[in-house]
Structure formats: structure tokens, C-alpha cells
């Protein structure tokens, strides 16, 4: 008789496979429990993933939507000059944009997070009726600490020498610490001899004639920062002066004695007290305060004082700067080449200081007859102006800086100076990636037609200051004559020849307000609507009729002007991927303006107020 084992059941096979133990899943109750655990674990994972997603995209306490109830009033300044109704800010960045209804669908929905927190995922902030939003404004050529210094004793707007002297006297009388100490240096700035009824320069004697001022060291910077007017006491401390100065002038009387005015490089002869860290900090705070009030979030500091950049670096080591600074390192021709021994400072992360450019001074200024011309000045045939450095230096050093990764920025104002600098650029840019190096002409005020074409062909950026045009238009023709003056501040011609421009103010030479530059660029008239050529604008020659109608020469459009204060300065400072426009992925630097400067009559632009200035999504001026 044989014995036949019955077939094994599934649970027996499971038991054998588990070493004689019945697996948990073989028990019905345990199987249910295990499935429940699995489902619970999957649910926990799903909820965790959801909240992680919301934490990443929605649940940040710094997330908000900035919108207009009046439609697309946010000028993004993207490649298409688009307008939108809302931008969504999370932390320091823009993470979304679009119509209000679409933003609400994507963000203001009923979610688990909203149920738990009892609040919307996104804070919606609405700008006031009539207001607009533009990217944070940039000034592509300015002098930060010099601005702060001039605010101590501002001389802008004085009508005569006597008026200026009176302002200095009143400053002394209003400050007991200065009045009681005759050894203290008195510093001021902003005087402009081109608007005074008298011809010629002021003198130390004009200051010394006042009994309150007499015997005190007084140093007064001119409006264009290319001249110093000083007292006899200030001169005495700096004597003896050399007979001549390369790239500068010591104004002298008929006996060869200094009269009290030093031009361009001669300014360096004056011995002045060292500026303390406290002095620089006070000046910096004043400049930043005013910049924020005008909607400025980025400034290209043009390296007038070599000590400025060192100060900014020290401040950056203490923490994030209150404003973005693109610093230009001053080039001193008396020092050895340093471009291969110094690494450009390029901000990353939350860094707000970049210093990757070198600043040359090719010539002086038109206002002080120091701009280097091809032909003599019409109102002073004895001079063509002068170069502040030997042109051969440009040929020797520019290629080295470009090779070592530095951007090269050259101050050039006269037509001859601009021609010389473009010659040097043309020779130096052979085989160089211009898009990577982005060389700049600072000012580019007066150029021949041939050099305007060359500017565009070479890819050199023109860093221009439109408010200079409406300041200089009242004396420019006397200085250059009726034909040559047509090549002065020819902004439209730059663009028509394919050049890229970027707008600045050169403050404290001109007013800091970037809307003044915007207004000047699109109108070429003074704030009260006047020009030497009438209310249509200075050198606004009407070209033949086209399909678009008459287009005024040398004005630029509002879109071009807005780009010149936003994305173009970003490009000129290598930051166009993170700044300059209100696009997804870029830093949330923006300005809320009380009026739509893109559509209102030009005469109303200067009445526009800044309501909010924000950097990295946080208001630094005004109420969000």
C-alpha cells in the first residue's frame, strides 16, 4: 500500500520558504494590517511631497504677487518689451508672471496648506490706480561718495561768483564747529561758471575778499568735477607747484602766480586732509538714501576717486551692501600694470559688489575746455583742449587688460579724444570676443560721423548721460560753432549706426533723478520746455516723411530710454541674466512709479513720484 502526500497548499509553500514560519501575509488579519500600513506610508509620502512642493513654490512667507487692477501695467523690459498684469515674487526672485485671473488659478487655490493655515497661499499686493511697475533703475555712470560730499555744501544753482561766495560764508556761519576752527577744510561742490554772467575763472581772491572766509582752507569742486576753485590758504599748504602738469592746467595770472583754479590732473597737486572712514560712511549713506528715493537699485561707480572702491569692498565684507555697485578701478599711469596680478571681483549669490572693469581718463571736459578736439575751440582759438594721458598708453595697456579678463572703460568727450580711443580699441579688439569683453566709451559726447559708424561696427558700448545735453546746449554752440555742434550728444545717430547705449547721470555733475535723464533723452528740452532751438528740442531736425511720419533726429524713444536705464546697464555690467528686466528667474528689483511715464505727456514726466523701490523683493523705499 502506498502513501500519497496531498498537494501542498500556497500557505504551506510560503511556510517552507520562510523556514517553517508562517509569513505575516498568510494571516488574513495581518495581511489587511500590512496593506493598511503600506497605504498609510504612501499617503504620508504623498502629503510630505505635496507640502515640500508647496514649501518650494507656494508656502514661503516672502511670497507675494504684485499686480495692477487696471490691466498690464508692469513693464517687464524683456526682449519683446512685454507688459503684464502681475509678477509673483518668492524670496529674492520672480517666479511667475501673467494676468491676474491666471495667477489666481495657479496660486490662490483652496489647498491643504490653506485649510491648515487658514490663509491664502499668496499675498496679493495691488499698486495704486494710475501707477506702473518697471525694473529697478540703474545709473550706468555716477560718483557715489562724491555725491555725498557735495551735499554737505551744495553750490549747484548759484548765479554769480558773489552768490557762490555768499553760500560758502553762510555755511561757515551756520556751523559753529567750523566757524570756531579756522584750520578746518571747507569742502563743497557744484559751481558752474558757464551760467555766470562774467567770463573767465573765479579766483582765490574772490574767496579771500570775504572776511568770514579769509584765512580758511576752502576747496570747491566744479559741477563737472574737472576743476577745483580754492582759497589762498589751501594753495599755501600745497606749494610749490610745478611749472606744468601733464594732462592738467594750473590757471595763473600775468605774473605766473596760481590764481586759485586747478584743472583735471592739476587737481591732484592740492594737498587735502585724508578722508576718514566716518566721512566716507556718511557720504555713502546720503547717496544710498537719495538713490532709493529715486528708484535706483544699481549704480556703476565711475572711479573718480580710487579710495571709493576700496571703501565699498570694506563695506561689502561687513554684509550685503544696501545698493548694487558696479565699481570701476581707477587706472593710474604712474603705477605698474596690475591686471594680471589682481582678480576681477564678480559678485555671486547675494553679493552686491562687482569690480571687473578698469577706468581710463582720456581727456578733460567740454565745460572747462579740456575736451580734446580736432580743431580749436570757437570761443578760445588758442586751445584744442588736451589729452590726460599719452595715447600710446592706451595701445600698450588695453590689450593686456582685455587679455586678463577686464572690461575696459574709457572717459572720452572731445571728437579727437573719441577718435584716439576708438583707434586703440580697434587695434586691441582684433581677435577678441567683443560680447565677452564689452568695452565702453564713458560719455562719448562729441564724435565725427565716421566714428559714430565705427562705434557700432566695433561693438563698443556708449555710456551716455542725456542730462548733459540739456545742460550744455546753452553754451555748446558758442564753444564748438554751428556745424561741429551737430556731432554733440548725437544719441539717435549712435542707435541708427548699430551701437548699444546705456544711460546714466554722472551725478553729482547732474541731478541724480533717473527720470531727468529719461525726460532729456526723449525731449531734448529743459525741464521748463525750452531749448536754443525752441520747444521741439535741441538739434531736433525733422527728416523726410516716412511711413511712420516725421521722426525727430537725436531724440530716442521711450522704450529705448527705459531699456537704457534697465536692461542695457545690466548688459554693460555683465548682469543681464539676473537683473534689468522683470522676467521669471531674475532678481525681484523693481520700482513702482505714480504715473505711466511711457504714455503721459512728456511735460508731466518730471512730476512722477517713486512710490516703492524694492531690491530682492523687499522694499528699501516706500510702502509695499
Write the pLDDT tens digit of every residue in 245-287. Answer: 888 899 999 999 999 999 988 998 999 888 899 999 999 999 9
Of the chain, the percentage scoring pLDDT greater than 90 comes to 75
- CA 367 from chain centre, in angstroms, equals 23
The pLDDT confidence band at residue 389, using thresholds 50, 70 and 90, is very high
Average pLDDT over residues 504-519: 96
Helix (H) / strand (E) element for 366: namely none
pTM as predicted:
0.83
Could you tell me which CATH number the domain at 145-269 has?
Answer: 3.10.310.70
Task: Report in angstroms the alpha-carbon separations of 243 from 230, 246, 262, 386, 619.
Answer: 18, 10, 13, 17, 54
Give the contacts of 414 (CB within 8 A, at least 6 positions apart). 363, 366, 371, 372, 373, 385, 445, 446
CA 327, 330, 334: angle at the middle one, nearest 5? Answer: 165
Residues in Cβ contact with 100 at an 8 Å cutoff, skipping those fewer than 6 apart = 67, 69, 85, 86
Cα 190 to Cα 510: distance, rounded to the nearest angstrom:
9
> What digits encode the pLDDT tens for the residues 453-463?
999 999 999 99
Confidence of residue 549 (pLDDT cuts 50, 70, 90): very low
The DSSP symbol for 527 reads T
According to CATH, the topology of domain 58-136+583-624 is: Urease, subunit C; domain 1 (2.30.40)
Q: How confident is the model at residue 12, as a pLDDT? A: 46
Examine the pLDDT at 58 and tell me if it is beyond 70: no
Average pLDDT, the chain: 88
Mean pLDDT for 175-199 is: 90
492, 519, 502: which is closest to 608 by C-alpha?
A: 519
227 to 171, 195, 415, 442: CA distances (angstroms) = 21, 15, 21, 19
Amino acid at each position: 500500500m502506498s502513501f500519497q502526500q496531498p498537494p501542498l497548499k500556497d500557505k504551506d509553500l510560503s511556510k517552507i520558504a520562510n523556514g517553517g514560519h508562517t509569513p505575516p501575509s498568510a494571516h488574513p488579519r495581518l495581511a489587511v494590517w500590512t496593506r493598511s500600513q503600506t497605504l498609510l506610508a504612501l499617503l504620508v509620502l504623498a502629503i510630505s511631497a505635496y507640502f515640500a512642493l508647496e514649501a518650494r513654490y507656494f508656502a514661503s512667507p516672502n511670497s507675494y504677487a504684485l499686480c495692477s487692477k487696471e490691466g498690464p501695467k508692469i513693464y517687464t523690459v524683456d526682449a519683446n518689451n512685454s507688459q503684464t498684469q502681475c509678477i509673483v515674487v518668492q524670496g529674492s526672485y520672480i517666479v511667475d508672471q501673467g494676468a491676474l485671473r491666471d495667477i489666481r488659478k495657479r496660486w490662490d487655490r483652496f489647498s491643504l496648506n490653506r485649510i491648515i493655515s487658514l490663509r491664502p497661499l499668496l499675498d496679493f499686493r495691488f499698486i495704486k490706480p494710475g501707477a506702473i511697475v518697471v525694473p529697478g533703475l540703474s545709473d550706468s555712470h555716477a560718483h557715489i561718495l562724491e555725491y555725498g560730499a557735495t551735499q554737505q555744501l551744495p553750490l549747484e544753482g548759484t548765479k554769480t561768483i558773489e552768490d557762490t561766495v555768499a553760500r560758502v560764508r553762510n555755511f561757515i556761519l551756520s556751523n559753529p564747529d567750523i566757524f570756531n576752527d579756522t584750520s578746518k577744510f571747507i569742502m563743497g561742490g557744484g559751481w558752474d561758471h558757464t551760467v555766470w554772467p562774467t567770463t573767465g575763472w573765479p579766483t582765490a581772491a574772490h574767496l579771500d575778499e570775504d572776511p568770514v572766509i579769509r584765512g580758511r582752507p576752502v576747496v570747491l569742486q566744479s559741477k563737472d568735477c574737472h576743476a577745483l576753485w580754492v582759497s589762498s590758504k589751501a594753495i599755501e599748504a600745497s606749494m610749490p607747484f610745478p611749472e606744468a602738469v601733464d594732462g592738467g592746467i594750473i590757471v595763473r595770472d600775468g605774473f605766473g602766480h596760481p590764481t586759485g583754479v586747478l584743472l583735471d590732473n592739476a587737481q591732484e597737486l592740492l594737498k587735502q586732509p585724508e578722508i576718514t572712514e566716518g566721512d566716507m560712511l556718511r557720504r555713502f549713506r546720503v547717496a544710498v538714501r537719495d538713490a532709493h528715493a529715486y528708484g535706483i537699485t544699481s549704480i556703476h561707480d565711475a572711479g573718480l576717486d580710487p579710495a571709493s572702491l576700496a571703501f565699498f569692498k570694506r563695506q561689502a565684507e561687513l554684509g550685503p551692501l544696501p545698493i548694487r555697485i558696479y565699481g570701476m578701478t581707477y587706472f593710474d599711469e604712474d603705477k605698474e600694470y596690475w591686471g594680471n596680478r589682481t582678480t576681477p571681483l564678480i559678485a555671486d549669490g547675494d553679493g552686491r559688489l562687482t569690480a571687473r572693469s578698469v577706468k581710463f581718463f582720456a581727456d578733460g571736459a567740454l565745460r572747462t575746455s579740456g575736451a580734446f578736439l580736432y580743431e580749436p575751440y570757437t570761443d578760445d582759438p588758442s586751445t584744442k583742449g588736451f589729452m590726460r594721458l599719452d595715447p600710446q598708453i592706451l595701445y600698450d595697456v588695453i590689450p593686456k587688460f582685455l587679455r586678463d579678463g577686464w572690461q575696459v572703460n574709457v572717459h572720452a568727450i572731445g571728437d579727437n579724444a573719441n577718435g584716439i580711443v576708438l583707434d586703440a580699441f580697434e587695434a586691441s579688439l582684433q581677435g577678441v570676443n567683443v560680447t565677452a569683453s564689452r568695452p565702453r566709451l564713458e560719455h562719448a559726447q562729441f564724435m565725427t560721423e565716421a566714428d559714430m559708424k565705427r562705434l557700432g561696427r566695433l561693438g563698443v558700448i556708449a555710456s551716455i548721460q542725456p542730462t548733459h545735453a540739456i545742460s550744455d546746449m546753452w553754451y555748446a554752440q558758442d564753444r564748438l560753432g554751428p556745424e561741429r555742434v551737430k556731432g554733440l550728444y548725437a544719441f539717435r545717430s549712435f542707435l541708427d549706426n548699430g551701437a548699444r547705449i546705456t544711460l546714466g547721470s554722472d551725478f553729482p555733475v547732474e541731478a541724480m533723478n533717473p527720470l531727468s535723464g529719461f525726460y532729456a533723452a526723449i525731449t531734448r528740452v529743459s525741464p521748463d520746455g525750452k531749448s536754443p532751438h525752441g520747444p521741439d528740442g535741441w538739434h531736433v531736425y525733422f527728416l523726410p516723411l516716412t511711413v511712420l511720419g516725421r521722426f525727430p533726429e537725436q531724440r530716442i524713444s521711450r522704450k529705448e530710454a527705459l531699456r537704457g536705464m534697465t536692461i542695457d546697464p545690466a548688459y554693460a555690467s555683465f548682469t543681464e541674466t539676473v537683473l534689468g528686466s522683470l522676467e521669471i528667474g531674475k532678481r525681484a528689483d523693481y520700482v513702482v512709479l505714480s504715473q505711466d511715464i511711457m504714455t503721459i505727456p512728456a511735460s508731466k514726466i518730471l512730476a512722477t513720484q517713486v512710490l516703492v523701490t524694492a531690491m530682492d523683493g523687499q522694499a528699501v523705499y516706500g510702502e509695499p
